[in-house]
Protein backbone atom coordinates (compact mmCIF):
# COMPACT_ATOMS: atom_id res chain seq x y z
CA UNK A 1 0.00 0.00 0.00
CA UNK A 2 1.32 3.43 -0.95
CA UNK A 3 1.98 6.11 1.64
CA UNK A 4 1.09 8.80 -0.89
CA UNK A 5 -1.91 10.86 0.13
CA UNK A 6 -4.51 11.01 -2.63
CA UNK A 7 -7.32 13.43 -3.32
CA UNK A 8 -10.06 12.39 -5.74
CA UNK A 9 -12.10 15.00 -7.61
CA UNK A 10 -15.14 14.26 -9.75
CA UNK A 11 -15.54 16.32 -12.92
CA UNK A 12 -18.35 16.47 -15.46
CA UNK A 13 -17.99 19.77 -17.30
CA UNK A 14 -20.38 21.72 -15.05
CA UNK A 15 -19.46 25.03 -13.40
CA UNK A 16 -19.72 23.34 -10.00
CA UNK A 17 -17.26 20.65 -11.10
CA UNK A 18 -14.85 23.34 -12.33
CA UNK A 19 -15.04 24.92 -8.87
CA UNK A 20 -14.49 21.50 -7.29
CA UNK A 21 -11.40 20.99 -9.46
CA UNK A 22 -9.98 24.34 -8.31
CA UNK A 23 -10.54 23.40 -4.67
CA UNK A 24 -9.07 19.93 -5.18
CA UNK A 25 -5.92 21.36 -6.78
CA UNK A 26 -5.51 23.77 -3.88
CA UNK A 27 -6.08 21.00 -1.32
CA UNK A 28 -3.59 18.72 -3.09
CA UNK A 29 -0.99 21.49 -2.98
CA UNK A 30 -1.65 22.23 0.70
CA UNK A 31 -1.60 18.55 1.71
CA UNK A 32 1.23 17.58 -0.68
CA UNK A 33 -1.10 14.93 -2.05
CA UNK A 34 -1.50 13.26 -5.43
CA UNK A 35 -4.62 14.25 -7.36
CA UNK A 36 -6.88 11.93 -9.34
CA UNK A 37 -9.24 13.88 -11.58
CA UNK A 38 -12.05 11.47 -12.40
CA UNK A 39 -14.66 11.75 -15.15
CA UNK A 40 -17.24 8.96 -15.03
CA UNK A 41 -19.13 8.38 -18.24
CA UNK A 42 -22.20 6.30 -18.86
CA UNK A 43 -22.10 3.19 -21.01
CA UNK A 44 -25.49 1.82 -21.93
CA UNK A 45 -25.60 -1.95 -22.04
CA UNK A 46 -28.06 -4.27 -23.68
CA UNK A 47 -30.64 -5.05 -20.97
CA UNK A 48 -30.91 -8.67 -22.10
CA UNK A 49 -27.27 -9.62 -22.66
CA UNK A 50 -25.62 -6.92 -20.55
CA UNK A 51 -23.15 -6.28 -23.37
CA UNK A 52 -22.45 -3.15 -25.38
CA UNK A 53 -21.73 -2.98 -29.06
CA UNK A 54 -18.00 -2.76 -29.76
CA UNK A 55 -18.36 0.23 -32.11
CA UNK A 56 -20.65 2.01 -29.67
CA UNK A 57 -18.33 1.46 -26.71
CA UNK A 58 -15.24 2.58 -28.66
CA UNK A 59 -17.04 5.80 -29.71
CA UNK A 60 -18.22 6.55 -26.16
CA UNK A 61 -14.74 5.87 -24.79
CA UNK A 62 -13.12 8.11 -27.43
CA UNK A 63 -15.64 10.90 -26.68
CA UNK A 64 -14.91 10.61 -22.94
CA UNK A 65 -11.15 10.83 -23.51
CA UNK A 66 -11.63 13.83 -25.80
CA UNK A 67 -13.84 15.50 -23.18
CA UNK A 68 -11.20 14.87 -20.51
CA UNK A 69 -8.46 16.33 -22.75
CA UNK A 70 -10.56 19.51 -23.00
CA UNK A 71 -10.75 19.65 -19.21
CA UNK A 72 -6.98 19.20 -18.95
CA UNK A 73 -6.42 22.09 -21.38
CA UNK A 74 -8.79 24.40 -19.47
CA UNK A 75 -7.76 23.39 -15.94
CA UNK A 76 -5.93 25.66 -13.53
CA UNK A 77 -2.21 25.01 -13.18
CA UNK A 78 -1.30 21.71 -11.55
CA UNK A 79 2.42 22.44 -11.67
CA UNK A 80 4.32 20.54 -9.01
CA UNK A 81 1.48 18.07 -8.43
CA UNK A 82 1.27 14.40 -9.27
CA UNK A 83 -1.95 14.35 -11.31
CA UNK A 84 -3.75 11.47 -12.96
CA UNK A 85 -6.60 12.29 -15.37
CA UNK A 86 -9.06 9.38 -15.56
CA UNK A 87 -12.04 8.66 -17.80
CA UNK A 88 -13.86 5.75 -16.16
CA UNK A 89 -16.97 4.01 -17.52
CA UNK A 90 -19.80 3.68 -15.04
CA UNK A 91 -22.30 5.43 -12.82
CA UNK A 92 -20.64 8.62 -11.47
CA UNK A 93 -21.69 7.98 -7.86
CA UNK A 94 -20.37 4.42 -7.91
CA UNK A 95 -17.14 5.35 -9.68
CA UNK A 96 -16.36 8.14 -7.20
CA UNK A 97 -17.33 6.10 -4.14
CA UNK A 98 -15.11 3.23 -5.32
CA UNK A 99 -12.27 5.68 -6.00
CA UNK A 100 -12.62 7.14 -2.50
CA UNK A 101 -11.37 3.96 -0.89
CA UNK A 102 -7.94 4.74 0.54
CA UNK A 103 -8.17 8.43 -0.41
CA UNK A 104 -7.67 11.29 1.98
CA UNK A 105 -10.44 13.41 0.49
CA UNK A 106 -13.12 13.28 -2.22
CA UNK A 107 -14.10 16.62 -3.79
CA UNK A 108 -17.31 16.94 -5.79
CA UNK A 109 -19.35 19.78 -7.17
CA UNK A 110 -23.01 20.21 -6.42
CA UNK A 111 -25.31 21.39 -9.14
CA UNK A 112 -28.45 20.88 -7.09
CA UNK A 113 -30.31 19.78 -10.19
CA UNK A 114 -33.91 18.94 -9.42
CA UNK A 115 -37.37 20.30 -8.91
CA UNK A 116 -36.93 21.61 -5.39
CA UNK A 117 -34.98 24.85 -5.01
CA UNK A 118 -34.22 23.93 -1.42
CA UNK A 119 -32.07 20.99 -2.43
CA UNK A 120 -28.49 22.18 -2.37
CA UNK A 121 -26.85 18.95 -3.46
CA UNK A 122 -27.31 16.86 -6.57
CA UNK A 123 -27.77 13.12 -6.44
CA UNK A 124 -24.09 12.30 -7.13
CA UNK A 125 -22.82 14.54 -4.34
CA UNK A 126 -25.51 13.25 -1.96
CA UNK A 127 -24.55 9.62 -2.68
CA UNK A 128 -20.87 10.44 -2.19
CA UNK A 129 -21.52 12.18 1.13
CA UNK A 130 -23.46 9.18 2.42
CA UNK A 131 -21.34 6.34 1.06
CA UNK A 132 -17.77 7.56 0.53
CA UNK A 133 -14.86 5.82 2.25
CA UNK A 134 -13.23 9.17 3.13
CA UNK A 135 -14.26 12.74 3.99
CA UNK A 136 -16.13 14.56 1.20
CA UNK A 137 -15.91 18.24 0.30
CA UNK A 138 -18.95 19.42 -1.66
CA UNK A 139 -18.36 22.63 -3.59
CA UNK A 140 -21.39 24.61 -4.71
CA UNK A 141 -21.51 26.44 -8.03
CA UNK A 142 -20.27 30.00 -7.60
CA UNK A 143 -18.73 29.25 -4.20
CA UNK A 144 -15.53 31.18 -3.67
CA UNK A 145 -16.07 33.65 -6.52
**pLDDT for the residue numbered 115:** 46
What superfamily would CATH give domain 6-140? HUPs (3.40.50.620)
Q: What is the mean pLDDT of each run of 10 residues along the chain (145 residues)?
A: 84 91 96 97 69 74 93 92 95 95 95 49 84 94 57
3-state secondary structure of 77: coil
What are the domain boundaries of the chain?
A: 6-140
d(CA 75, CA 111): 19
Are the C-beta atoms of 139 and 107 separated by less than 8 Å? yes
> Is the distance from CB of 65 to CB of 86 less than 8 angstroms?
no
Q: What is the pLDDT of residue 117?
A: 42
Global model pTM greater than 0.85: no
Contacts for 126-130: CB closer than 8 Å, 24+ residues apart? 127/93, 127/97, 128/10, 128/93, 128/96, 128/97, 128/100
Amino acid sequence: MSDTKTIIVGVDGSAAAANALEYAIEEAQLRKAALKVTYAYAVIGNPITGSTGKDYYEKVEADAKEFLQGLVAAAPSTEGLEVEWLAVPGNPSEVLIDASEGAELLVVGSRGVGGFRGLLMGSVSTQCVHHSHCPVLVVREGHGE
